[in-house]
Amino acid sequence: MDKQELLKRIPKVDEVLKDQRLFVFFEDTPRELVVESVREAVDELRKNILDWEGGDPPAINMDDLIGDAVKKVRGKKQKSLRRVINGTGTILHTNLGRARMSEEAGRNVLEVAMNYSALEYDLKRGARGSRHDHIEKLIAKIVGTEGAMVVNNNASAVLLCLSALAKGKEVIVSRGELVEIGGSFRIPEIMELGGAYLREVGTTNKTKLDDYRNAIDKEKTGALLKVHTSNYKIMGFTAEVSLSELLALGQEWGIPVVYDLGSGLMADLQQYGIDEPTVPESVRNGADVVTFSGDKLLGGPQAGIIIGKKKYIDCMKKHPLARAVRVDKMTLAALEATFREYFDMEKAKERVPVLSMITVSMDEMRTKAILLAEQVRRATEAFEIEVIKSEGQIGGGSTPNQFLAGYAVSVVGKKVSADRIERDLRAYEVPVIVRINQDRVLIDMRTVTRDEIDTVARALIACGEKYDRG
Ligand SMILES: *Cc1c(COP(=O)(O)O)cnc(C)c1O
């Protein structure tokens, strides 16, 4: 048979569209999308025939064509930003959306998003209100400060602080704290953007109180800035000035001290191996202004939270930048629910997923691992499956060098490579994101909830069946 003959036999798009098997899609899929998929499937077949250079000719049959078209329709209907299962063991995975929020936070977002809300309406007075009121008093109460304010993220929080408090003036920072956080947040650049002049003091490994003191100029200095080095640690021959020492110095000169705390940890988690300054601790030290992220260890939505003395917060609220970095109602809904969890610190450890993943017991992780391993073993023999000890991480630029011991399920394919398994799990209908270590696929139980175990098992079983078919 020659090419011309084959090309003539390709079904017409209209003909394919009449097939019963595509009808189900017309109910809930735009017709255009189905037509486009069929056209692509037909075009691909035509291309295969044109590229054919002897040997078996490409098969032309309706079943394959429909199968291809159905796959394409499904692919086009798939949202790009969608749920995945995090099997990496990294709790604040920057690429996977950082903090997973609490159920209550999620519910509140839905409620506020799908209804009208009292966003800028004072229900007591029946008059215009402020979107900031819902949450600022709550935050101030929970952390014990005079004032609070919420902006888009911590980067904009720092920018707003510097612009409002130190524009045209010098901001004194230790050379050991000129941090870069992923995604090009660099302290010197933010400083420039905020219109403040960076005055570096000390050295990379050692900065003393006198270094700050000697740099202060009554006229020129706008603020002292302390930055928590959340994503690196300087070790060995080191010295840094504590927040309380810096605050005392600032007070002496009437200069505000801004503390970029980074993570926003509310509960003391020392006993779980987390050595990270907490928000309440910085408030107890009498901080002037503290900024932190909403979606790191606080466990809420992306946001920047600014807390501290009322006079500084008021000054920031009036700044023109405040409108540019304003938060959306869904963020406020999620953040209010998240902060409310912290009224009961013990319950928060169970209900805020970031905290429950840090505080989860070895037993619980081991149980989940065994559950998953057994489900998969029962259904397929395509893998060698083992429950092993693992090391998880907080991630998201928090607590470097601190690993959390846990359990993982190790998967080795009898016929396929770890790379192939990783890729296929990632292509599953609910993508399962895993780590590879020494040619093994590791699924870490710290970041997989009990509810997700069945889905992970189904993903692995689907892979296994595919490998067995060859
Ligand atoms: C993470 C972090 C930031 C940036 O916060 P975003 O909320 O990601 O904008 C700034 N400073 C420090 C110290 C951080 O750890």
- Cβ neighbours for 27, distance < 8 A, ≥ 6 positions apart: none
Same domain, 159 and 301: yes
Same domain, 90 and 114: no
Nearest CA, atom 5, ligand 1: 154
pLDDT tens over the chain, length 470 residues:
788 889 999 999 999 999 988 888 888 889 999 999 999 999 999 999 999 988 888 889 899 999 999 999 998 999 999 999 999 999 999 999 999 999 999 999 999 999 999 999 999 999 999 998 899 999 999 999 999 999 999 999 999 999 999 999 999 999 999 988 877 788 889 989 999 999 999 999 999 999 999 999 999 999 999 999 888 888 888 999 999 999 999 999 999 999 999 999 999 999 998 889 999 999 999 889 999 999 999 999 999 999 999 999 999 999 999 999 999 999 999 999 999 999 999 999 999 999 999 999 999 999 999 999 999 999 999 999 999 999 888 887 777 778 899 999 999 999 999 999 999 999 999 999 999 999 999 999 999 999 999 999 999 999 999 999 87
Same domain, 345 and 383: no
Same domain, 260 and 128: yes
153: Cβ below 6 Å to ligand 1? yes
CA of 109 to the centre of ligand 1 (A): 23
Residue 30: CA atoms inside 13 Å, Cβ hemisphere, count? 5
230: Cβ below 6 Å to ligand 1? yes
Question: How many domains does the chain contain in total?
Answer: 3
277: Cβ below 6 Å to ligand 1? no
Same domain, 337 and 379: no
Residue 79: CA atoms inside 13 Å, Cβ hemisphere, count? 5
pTM attached to this predicted model: 0.92
Same domain, 115 and 157: yes
Same domain, 89 and 115: no
CA of 157 to the centre of ligand 1 (A): 9
Atom of ligand 1 nearest to the CA of 155: 9
Same domain, 317 and 377: no
Cα–Cα distance, 149 to 331 (Å, whole number): 13
Q: What is the pLDDT of residue 3?
A: 86
CA of 231 to the centre of ligand 1 (A): 10
Of 358, 346, 383, 400, the C-alpha closest to 457 is 383
Q: What is the pLDDT of residue 392?
A: 84
Of 349, 373, 402, the last residue of a domain is 349
260: Cβ below 6 Å to ligand 1? yes
145: Cβ below 6 Å to ligand 1? no
Same domain, 295 and 369: no
CA of 262 to the centre of ligand 1 (A): 5
Same domain, 177 and 273: yes
Atom of ligand 1 nearest to the CA of 263: 15
What residue type is assigned to position 373 of the chain? A
Nearest CA, atom 1, ligand 1: 262
Atom of ligand 1 nearest to the CA of 294: 7
User: Which structural domain range is residue 286 located in?
Assistant: 103-349
Q: What is the pLDDT of residue 397?
A: 72
CATH of the domain at 116: 3.40.640.10
CA of 57 to the centre of ligand 1 (A): 58
Cα–Cα distance, 330 to 442 (Å, whole number): 35
Same domain, 43 and 185: no
154: Cβ below 6 Å to ligand 1? yes
The answer to whether residues 376 and 460 touch, using CB atoms and an 8 Å cutoff, is yes
CA of 188 to the centre of ligand 1 (A): 14
Say how many Å lie between the first and final Cα of the chain, rounded. Answer: 31
Q: What is the pLDDT of residue 104?
A: 97
Atom of ligand 1 nearest to the CA of 179: 13
Same domain, 273 and 233: yes
Nearest CA, atom 6, ligand 1: 154
Inter-helix orientation angle 450-469/418-426, to 10°: 120
Of 295, 321, 349, the last residue of a domain is 349
CA of 328 to the centre of ligand 1 (A): 19
CA of 295 to the centre of ligand 1 (A): 10
Nearest CA, atom 12, ligand 1: 262
CATH of the domain at 456: 3.90.1150.180
227: Cβ below 6 Å to ligand 1? yes
Nearest CA, atom 14, ligand 1: 262
240: Cβ below 6 Å to ligand 1? no
